[in-house]
């Protein structure tokens, strides 16, 4: 029997998960339709129960401590298990649905701008569900009623069950103010770029390009700049938009920022790499016409 006195309340766990994912108490409060003070109280209660700090402040930035990161992964895994079971029970009722699985970043940056067009394709009678997962828990979705997964892993998948949803075309991006401040250096030789920060992902790499790859492609293989790490690509882009440094922008992921003018491309070249985002049918979705139509939709996105 589980010792329930060691299990925090659901409200506290949801508050922590949202705050950890967004790195911001205010945005967590907005997402959960509560107050920032309520989020703060939940975090304080958790830290008191665990006898450990979960968050650390670095200037205006909120980051997870090592204990916070460990707890976040555990909470995320638990919530995803509950979500998966809920989906399986709900979908057993036989309602029309299309279920897509992807990371929070892909959901926010890639799927959301295309959601209305996909809904129009499958029809209003089909309900589209987006299940957010982390790459580390990708294997846990096996056997669940999920139709299509967005992934960089294609080992063991059949060629006719997958399409390239987004080619990997990359260019540096930054805020307009950053581009103005460092314009002379950015316009010069890449080998002379010094004195500012390069924003990078710290999560386990699934095959996408890194700053090292980009520097190597552009003739600066010995680059040792000042890197600032982020565990989430959305946070990374938000930091770039706030002027904290230069980021790598993926075509298909940064268009809304560029159109809004919160990010700009300070140099002209776009570089192509070999880590495209793949849309892959699962064994559940392979024989469903609506899932096949969805797969074709994402192939057309890149054509």
CATH number where 47 lies: 1.10.10.10
In a domain, 82, yes or no: no
Same domain membership, residue 185 and residue 143: no
d(CA 185, CA 206) in angstroms, rounded, equals 31
d(CA 128, CA 82) in angstroms, rounded, equals 19
Give me the pLDDT at residue 203, please.
Answer: 77
d(CA 196, CA 159) in angstroms, rounded, equals 43
* pTM confidence score: 0.69
> What is the percent of the chain where pLDDT is above 90?
34
User: Taking Cα atoms as reference points, which of 242, 158, 165, 167 lies closest to residue 199?
Assistant: 242
In a domain, 159, yes or no: yes
Same domain membership, residue 67 and residue 149: no
User: Taking Cα atoms as reference points, which of 119, 87, 110 lies closest to residue 234?
Assistant: 110
Give me the pLDDT at residue 93, please.
Answer: 47
Which positions ≥6 away from 230 have C-beta within 8 Å? 199, 200, 201, 202, 236, 239
Predicted confidence band at 29 (pLDDT cuts at 50, 70, 90)?
confident
d(CA 230, CA 200) in angstroms, rounded, equals 6
Q: Mind listing the pLDDT tens digit for each residue in 250-296? A: 998 999 899 989 999 998 778 899 889 999 999 889 989 999 999 99
Give me the pLDDT at residue 250, please.
Answer: 94
* Residue with more model confidence, 231 or 149: 149
Same domain membership, residue 197 and residue 127: no
256 within 8 A of 113, measured Cβ to Cβ: yes
In a domain, 85, yes or no: no
Q: Mind listing the pLDDT tens digit for each residue in 127-175? A: 898 888 777 666 666 667 889 999 888 887 899 999 999 999 999 999 9
Q: Is the pLDDT of residue 89 over 50?
A: yes
Same domain membership, residue 133 and residue 47: no
Same domain membership, residue 133 and residue 61: no
The three-class DSSP label of residue 55 is strand
Mean pLDDT of the 42-65 span: 85
User: Taking Cα atoms as reference points, which of 234, 230, 9, 55 lies closest to residue 132?
Assistant: 234
Distances (CA, A) of 221 to 118, 190, 193, 211, 215: 41, 11, 13, 10, 6
Same domain membership, residue 189 and residue 266: yes
In a domain, 84, yes or no: no
The three-class DSSP label of residue 255 is helix
Same domain membership, residue 264 and residue 178: yes
* Residue with more model confidence, 54 or 61: 54
Give me the pLDDT at residue 224, please.
Answer: 64
Which pair of tokens denotes residue 48?
Answer: 């008191």
Instruction: Determine phi and psi for 78, rounding to 5 degrees.
Output: -65, -45
Q: Residue 58: give the domain boundaries.
A: 4-73
Instruction: Determine phi and psi for 100, rounding to 5 degrees.
Output: -115, 140
Same domain membership, residue 229 and residue 139: no
Considering the chain, what is the average pLDDT of its residues? 84
Q: Is the pLDDT of residue 83 over 70?
A: no
- E-strand ranges in the chain read 55-58, 61-64, 97-102, 127-132, 148-151, 162-173, 197-201, 226-230, 247-250, 271-281
In a domain, 199, yes or no: yes
Count: domains in the chain: 3
Mean pLDDT of the 175-199 span: 88
Give me the pLDDT at residue 268, please.
Answer: 76
60 within 8 A of 67, measured Cβ to Cβ: no
Output the domain CATH number for residue 130: 3.40.190.10
d(CA 107, CA 63) in angstroms, rounded, equals 22
User: Taking Cα atoms as reference points, which of 144, 162, 142, 160 lies closest to residue 152?
Assistant: 162
Place of tokens 């107050």: 35
């Amino acid at each position: 029997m589980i010792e329930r006195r060691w299990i925090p309340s659901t409200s506290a766990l949801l508050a922590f998960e949202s705050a950890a994912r967004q790195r911001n108490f205010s945005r967590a409060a907005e997402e959960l339709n509560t107050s920032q003070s309520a989020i703060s109280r939940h975090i304080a209660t958790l830290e008191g129960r665990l006898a450990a700090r979960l968050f650390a402040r670095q200037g205006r930035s909120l980051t997870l401590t090592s204990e916070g990161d460990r707890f976040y992964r555990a909470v995320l895994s638990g919530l995803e298990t509950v979500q998966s079971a809920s989906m399986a029970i709900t979908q057993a009722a036989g309602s029309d649905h299309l279920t897509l699985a992807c990371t929070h970043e892909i959901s926010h940056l890639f799927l959301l701008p295309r959601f209305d067009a996909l809904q129009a394709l499958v029809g209003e009678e089909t309900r589209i569900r987006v299940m957010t997962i982390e790459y580390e828990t990708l294997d846990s979705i096996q056997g669940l009623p999920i139709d299509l997964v967005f992934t960089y892993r294609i080992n063991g998948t059949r060629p006719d069950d997958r399409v390239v949803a987004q080619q990997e075309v990359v260019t540096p991006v930054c805020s307009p103010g950053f581009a103005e401040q460092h314009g002379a250096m950015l316009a010069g030789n890449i080998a002379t770029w010094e004195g500012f920060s390069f924003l990078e992902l710290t999560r386990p790499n699934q095959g996408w390009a890194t700053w090292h790859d980009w520097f190597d492609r552009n003739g600066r293989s010995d680059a040792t700049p000042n890197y600032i790490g982020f565990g989430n690509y959305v946070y990374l882009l938000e930091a770039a938009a706030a002027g904290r440094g230069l980021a790598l922008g993926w075509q298909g992921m940064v268009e809304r920022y560029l159109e809004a003018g919160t990010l700009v491309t300070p140099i002209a070249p776009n570089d192509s790499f070999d880590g495209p985002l793949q849309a892959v049918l699962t064994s559940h979705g392979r024989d469903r016409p609506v899932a096949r139509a969805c797969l074709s939709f994402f192939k057309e996105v890149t054509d």
